[in-house]
């Protein structure tokens, strides 16, 4: 069986359902991307299951294109315009994101809205234990990832021009409602644990109502590490970003330490010898984040946050399962998503029961 690193690394020919007119795109880029010139070649990245992502190779260099998938989409999903907005703001603030080039909301070019950004050369790790990396470098990489999410949550989003990017306050109630609705819209069978979570979560929301820019899917495989140095040089996949609760974002990231084998290809860090690997424990990692963000009392209500995040991830994967049925899911491995929904929901309910 191929590793998750092998399955998701590199590019492949564009899947038939996700092809578009390359000549039309080349004409558009000639007019709208500074310094661009052809000829243009297009390949599809293997990784990712939501917005189809393409490598553009041309006479003027390499670029990346992110577009909405074709077909019927869930309301508010795949908002590439929002992705472009947030990376533009963060790039201007010096945060590690690719340089944005252009947003095109005219469906005539590729069939759906898209944006183009620079290609960032570096390392993407699809396995959480970073095979082939020495313990000291692993420790430094994880510390850089921790510093990156802490920096993100420390920005004054108003000063970055993102005051209207989301609604501060009442974040969990809105998220629970949103993902419950999207789960129901793509539901393929009854899962008791999901039904229980949708009833339990709205009644147990903590009082903390902090607000910051949140990534929404902050994972190791959504960051690019420098080719030779143990530091983050770009954060990718901003589709779920908004103004939200920083602890929702951080504790979603902490799921890497909680995740067992559920058929998604990566078993998480739960059963790993972290000390031997040079990877901090979840508690150590949390303390570093809290030190960097000024949360001197740590994070209370972690079981609620875990229950919420497992519920949310289950709902996201159920949406992917719905697109699998329609043939518009971007990854060839997206069919694994539906099989993971129930185990995730069961884990979420275990945290809820413990809370």
pLDDT, tens only, 235-282? 999 998 999 999 999 999 999 999 877 655 556 898 899 999 999 999
| 127 part of a folded domain | no
* CA–CA distance, 122 with 131 (Å, rounded to integer): 16
Residue after which a domain boundary falls, among 86, 118, 150:
118
| 124 part of a folded domain | no
Same domain, 57 and 157: no
Peptide bond into 324 cis (omega under 30): no
Q: How many domains does the chain have?
A: 2
- How would residue 55 be classed by pLDDT, with cut points 50, 70 and 90? very high
CB 281 within 8 A of CB 274: yes
Same domain, 112 and 139: no
The pTM of the full predicted model, rounded to 2 decimals, is 0.89
SS3 per-residue string spanning 259-295: CCCCCCCCCCCCCCCHHHHCCCCHHHHHHHHHHHHCC
| 174 part of a folded domain | yes
Evaluate the CA torsion angle 114, 115, 119, 124 in order and state its sign: negative
| 17 part of a folded domain | yes
Same domain, 108 and 139: no
Span 143-153, average pLDDT: 98
Whichever domain contains 140, its CATH number is 3.90.1200.10
Q: In terms of residue numbers, what domain contains 324?
A: 135-354
Same domain, 193 and 339: yes
Same domain, 108 and 176: no
* Higher pLDDT, residue 10 or 305: 305
- How would residue 4 be classed by pLDDT, with cut points 50, 70 and 90? low
Q: Which of 303, 325, 317 is nearest to 345 (CA)?
A: 317
* CA–CA distance, 140 with 212 (Å, rounded to integer): 25
Residue 1 has pLDDT above 50, yes or no: no
* Higher pLDDT, residue 29 or 77: 29
Span of 74-78, 99-103, 333-337 with lowest mean pLDDT: 74-78
Same domain, 310 and 281: yes
Q: Which of 159, 52, 32 is nearest to 100 (CA)?
A: 32
Q: Looking at residue 8, what is its pLDDT?
A: 65
| 128 part of a folded domain | no
Backbone angles phi, psi at 42, to 5 degrees: -125, 130
Same domain, 139 and 95: no
Backbone angles phi, psi at 281, to 5 degrees: -70, 165
* CA–CA distance, 130 with 71 (Å, rounded to integer): 36
* CA–CA distance, 329 with 320 (Å, rounded to integer): 6
Same domain, 113 and 143: no
Same domain, 206 and 338: yes
Whichever domain contains 94, its CATH number is 3.30.200.20
Element housing 32 (H / E):
helix 22-32
């Amino acid at each position: 069986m191929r590793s998750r690193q092998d399955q998701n690394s590199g590019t492949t020919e564009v899947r038939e359902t996700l092809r578009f007119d390359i000549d039309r795109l080349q004409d558009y880029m000639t007019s709208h991307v500074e310094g661009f010139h052809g000829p243009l070649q297009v390949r599809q990245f293997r990784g990712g299951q939501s917005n189809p992502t393409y490598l553009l190779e041309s006479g003027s260099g390499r670029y990346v294109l992110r577009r909405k998938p074709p077909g019927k989409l869930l309301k508010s999903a795949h908002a590439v315009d929002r992705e472009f907005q947030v990376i533009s703001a963060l790039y201007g603030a010096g945060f590690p994101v690719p340089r944005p080039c252009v947003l095109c909301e005219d469906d005539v070019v590729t069939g759906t809205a898209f944006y183009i950004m620079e290609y960032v050369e570096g390392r993407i790790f699809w396995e959480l234990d970073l095979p082939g990396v020495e313990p000291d470098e692993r420790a430094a990489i994880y510390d850089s990832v921790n510093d990156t999410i802490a920096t993100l949550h420390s920005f004054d989003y108003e000063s970055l021009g993102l005051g209207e990017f989301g609604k501060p306050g009442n974040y969990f109630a809105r998220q629970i409602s949103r993902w419950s609705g999207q789960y129901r819209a793509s539901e393929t069978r009854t899962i008791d644990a999901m039904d229980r979570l949708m009833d339990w979560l709205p009644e147990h929301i903590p009082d903390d109502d902090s607000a910051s820019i949140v990534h929404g899917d902050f994972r190791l495989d959504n960051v690019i590490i420098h080719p030779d140095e143990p530091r983050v040089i770009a954060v990718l996949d901003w589709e779920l970003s908004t103004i939200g609760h920083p602890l929702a974002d951080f504790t979603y990231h902490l799921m890497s330490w909680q995740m067992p084998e559920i058929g998604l290809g990566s078993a998480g860090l739960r059963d790993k010898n972290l000390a031997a690997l040079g990877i901090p424990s979840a508690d150590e990692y949390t303390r570093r984040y809290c030190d960097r963000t000024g949360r001197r009392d740590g994070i209370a209500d972690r079981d609620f946050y875990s229950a919420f995040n497992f519920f949310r991830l289950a709902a996201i994967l159920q949406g992917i399962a719905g697109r699998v049925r329609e043939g518009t899911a971007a990854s060839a491995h997206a069919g694994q998503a539906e099989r993971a929904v129930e185990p995730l929901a069961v884990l979420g309910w275990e945290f809820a029961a413990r809370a």
